[in-house]
Copies of this chain bind each other. A is one copy, B any other.
């Protein structure tokens, strides 16, 4: 179990509490986890594991408040569906059904709602999972920002699949299925608030096929998976390092970052390690499974740019360390503050 961090001192919620980084973790641990305390929630993983009559289920939820609702490469609808599918997939589960709760602002165009619904339907159909139940609420003008969608998902854990931070050990290798930061940068630029144009597109996509292929191909050699969304790769790996009590060493030169993403990040002074992807998975695998894992990922169209990007070590325990291209290195902390509000 991760050690308690500093105490939550703020009296009012700030945007940083929603950024997925350090403040979010403190809020969740010190407000929700304290109140809701139960073994299913405790691991704070992407999906809770439930068991009934010998059937193992995974259960997860995501609220989507992305701004703008439509952006290059996707919209709030497929983002919501893919996000929930991916939380199930990286937990090792096969998606069984999704739900969707809509909070709509009075005055929202019905045609935009149709467009979002069509995009949710297409995303769900791509995965073969039904949008089985839903709810619709409307709030007055000025009480939302167009449309918020909260999806939840139920999945089935195949027999034998056991993933988790407790299975990660020094020597294990770290892989990513493709370039990082595409989604976050595409959304930020799409807002049009920056005097910046760039040919950026969200990577929003379901990773269920990649996840299933790794599970089938590696068996017990697959230790842990995550989709590096809000807070980016840095935050996902910091949570792993803390939960597993290990160090994660990242090789900067091996990190796949598209030049246009790297360039936009540089202009904005943002580190791509903290920028959300919405169609990538990171995986920790046993040392002797790394080559096979890379083959499996690269043989799939979504994994063409997959790479081994680091390894697990003993020290410095609980931290993520970046080996830089220049031969030096630095600790990569969890996200602090919120440089990119409402990117998912």
List the interface of chain A (C-beta within 8 A of B). 8, 10-19, 24, 27-28, 31-32, 34-41, 47-48, 50, 52-53, 55, 57, 59-65, 96-97, 99-111, 113-114, 117-118, 120-121, 124, 130-140, 142-145, 148, 150, 152, 154, 156, 341-342
Of chain B, the residue at the smallest CB distance from A37 is B121
Q: Which residues of B contact A341 (CB under 8 A)?
A: 138, 140
Of chain B, the residue at the smallest CB distance from A130 is B38
Q: A35-B117, A104-B17, A143-B144 are in contact. Are A109 and B154 (CB under 8 A)?
A: no
Q: A130-B41, A152-B101 are in contact. Are A12 and B110 (CB under 8 A)?
A: yes
Q: Which of B57, B107, B134 contacts A61 (CB 8 A)?
A: B134
* Least Cβ–Cβ distance between A215 and chain B, in angstroms: 18
Q: A135-B63, A136-B24, A152-B99 are in contact. Are A117 and B31 (CB under 8 A)?
A: yes
List 20 A–B pairs whose Cβ atoms lie within 8 Å, in order of A's numbering.
A13-B106, A13-B107, A14-B138, A17-B138, A28-B134, A31-B117, A32-B117, A36-B131, A40-B130, A40-B132, A41-B130, A59-B99, A60-B99, A61-B134, A63-B137, A65-B137, A139-B148, A142-B142, A144-B148, A148-B148
Most B Cβ at <10 Å: residue of A38, A64, A101, A105:
A101
- Contact indicator A139/B65 (Cβ below 8 Å): yes
Of chain B, the residue at the smallest CB distance from A8 is B110
- Contact indicator A110/B35 (Cβ below 8 Å): no
- Contact indicator B136/A27 (Cβ below 8 Å): yes
Q: Which residues of B contact A100 (CB under 8 A)?
A: 32, 61
Q: Which of B11, B48, B133 contacts A133 (CB 8 A)?
A: B48
- Contact indicator A15/B106 (Cβ below 8 Å): yes
CA A57 to CA B130, docked complex, whole Å:
14
Of chain B, the residue at the smallest CB distance from A9 is B110
* Least Cβ–Cβ distance between A154 and chain B, in angstroms: 6
- Contact indicator A110/B10 (Cβ below 8 Å): yes
Of chain B, the residue at the smallest CB distance from A108 is B13
Q: Which residues of B contact A48 (CB under 8 A)?
A: 97, 99, 130, 132-133
- Contact indicator A13/B110 (Cβ below 8 Å): yes
